């Protein structure tokens, strides 16, 4: 689990501010939505070896984000790929 992170990155001599916010730690949807302000890209992280995690990502989190913003890009990021391939025998 990630707590909040902020930092700066430089690309082609341009400084970009980067912030990651863990919204799962906030159970109240109204409080979470306040954290969505000024977000330009959303990352939805799910557990690839847990089908319920993907369903939750697509049904709950994707819908909540789209209800808040219909234009911000959303990236789905899977974790535990090592376990996924271990289950497949690779």
Residue 45, Cβ density class (10 Å: 0-12 exposed, 13-18 middle, ≥19 buried): middle
Give the per-residue pLDDT at 90.
52
* Parallel, antiparallel or unpaired: strands 74-79 and 42-47: parallel
pTM to 2 decimal places: 0.70
Low-confidence ranges of the chain (pLDDT < 70): 1-2, 24-26, 85, 87-90
Residue 76, Cβ density class (10 Å: 0-12 exposed, 13-18 middle, ≥19 buried): middle
Q: Which domains does the chain have, with CATH numbers?
A: 5-87 (3.40.50.300)
């Amino acid at each position: 689990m990630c707590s909040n992170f902020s930092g700066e990155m430089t690309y082609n001599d341009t400084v970009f501010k980067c912030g990651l916010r863990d919204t799962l730690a906030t159970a109240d949807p109204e409080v979470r939505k306040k954290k969505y302000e000024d977000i330009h890209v959303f990352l939805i992280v799910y557990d690839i070896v847990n089908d319920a995690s993907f369903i939750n990502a697509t049904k709950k989190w994707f819908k909540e984000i789209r209800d808040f913003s219909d234009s911000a890009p959303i990236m789905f990021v899977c974790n535990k790929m090592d376990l996924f391939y271990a289950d497949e025998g690779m």
